[in-house]
């Protein structure tokens, strides 16, 4: 169990917001496997406010599937009024359970505008954004941050304390600097330092690729929860593994047929939602992740990446199942 302000969650491992990955169908699949909270892809506050009401891209980012469980809205931006205004307008029409403000994205196109992890170099502005949102919204406001801009500007503890004082209900700390991007090893000690100083919940993020990793991150840092990103790509079952770990139930191995059946379901959901021409290109990366570790996956990925129809993709999945031998399956 984990509680963020008035929001009570049924577990401690949540799905991270990932641009181009955590679409509505994938969030539903992760929730079904046990993720107690999932996040939308990162949405520009100003972009949302400026977009026409019928903008398809914005509608897709905000779409949720029935039964998807508690879902958090993640916004980014540097304008104090815009972040609050966008959140308010979105919450009028969507039942998101909290608003998370991104202060950790390292992508140059985000940091160039002063948003994402660049906000860690402007504590006063970051605090004003959080304070305004927390005052205006009826749901909890949280942030996602890094441990600093680079090794010379590591300010995770001071930054997190300022966000707590400004009204943040929880913080998620990715254990890398912005300069590291996603290279090297996540600094779990730095996450623990933040947890030791804050009164609000702290979630750890970084290098939780397996159930054992997630449990180790939580134990090492003392954090209240763990946010899982890349470890869930093509592997929504990681949340079931964590749920089983908590319940003292042995982990469940899945064969290739079961794994690829879920991949096919993900494809079908995307086609039903976006239509085949849009769904097939978007599903290529997901298919590559689902196939990872299976015999013949490298060759099949080439065919999947050139597939022009859902039927072609399903054919690749069926053929890949037939290539498996029991002793070649990854547990």
**Catalytic sites, residue numbers:** 105
- Give the integer Cα–Cα distance in Å for 256 and 296: 12
- Give the integer Cα–Cα distance in Å for 267 and 285: 11
Structure-token pair, residue 305: 């990446």
Contacts of 253 (CB under 8 A, 6+ apart): 331
- Give the integer Cα–Cα distance in Å for 98 and 74: 9
Backbone angles phi, psi at 218, to 5 degrees: -65, -45
DSSP state string for 139-174: S-EEEEE-S-SSGGG--HHHHHHHHHHTT-SEEEEE
Burial class of residue 331, CB neighbours in 10 A (0-12, 13-18, 19+): exposed
- Contact between 79 and 113 under an 8 Å Cβ cutoff? The reply is no
Residue the block writes with tokens 């050139």: 306
């Amino acid at each position: 169990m984990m509680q963020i302000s008035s929001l009570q969650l049924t577990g401690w491992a949540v799905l991270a917001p990932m641009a181009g990955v955590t679409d509505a169908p994938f969030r539903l699949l992760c929730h079904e496997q046990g993720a107690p909270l999932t996040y939308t892809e990162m949405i520009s506050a100003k972009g949302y406010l400026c977009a026409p009401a019928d903008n398809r891209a914005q509608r897709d980012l905000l779409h949720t599937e029935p039964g998807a469980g508690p879902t958090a809205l993640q916004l980014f931006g540097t304008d104090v009024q815009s972040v609050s205004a966008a959140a308010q307008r979105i919450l009028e029409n969507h039942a998101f359970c909290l608003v998370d403000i991104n202060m950790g994205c390292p992508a140059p196109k985000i940091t160039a505008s002063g948003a994402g992890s660049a906000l860690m170099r402007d504590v006063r502005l970051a605090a004003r954004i959080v304070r305004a949102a927390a005052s205006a919204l009826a749901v909890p406001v949280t942030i996602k941050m890094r441990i600093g801009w680079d090794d010379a500007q590591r300010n995770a503890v001071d930054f997190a304390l300022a966000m707590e004082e400004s009204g943040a209900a929880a913080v998620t700390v990715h254990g890398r600097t912005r300069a590291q991007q996603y290279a090297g090893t996540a600094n779990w000690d730095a996450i623990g330092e933040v947890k030791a100083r804050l009164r609000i919940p702290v979630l750890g993020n970084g290098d939780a690729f397996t159930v054992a990793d997630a449990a180790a991150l939580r134990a090492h840092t003392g954090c209240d929860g763990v946010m899982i990103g890349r470890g869930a790509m093509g592997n929504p079952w990681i949340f079931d593994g964590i749920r089983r770990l908590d319940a003292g139930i042995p982990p469940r191995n899945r064969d290739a047929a079961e794994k690829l059946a879920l991949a096919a379901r993900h494809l079908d959901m995307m086609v039903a939602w976006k239509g085949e021409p849009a769904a097939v290109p978007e599903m290529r990366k997901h298919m590559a992740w689902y196939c990872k570790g299976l015999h013949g996956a490298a060759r099949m990925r080439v065919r999947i990446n050139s597939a022009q129809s859902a039927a072609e993709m399903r054919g690749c999945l069926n053929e890949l199942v037939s290539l498996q031998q029991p002793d070649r399956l990854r547990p």
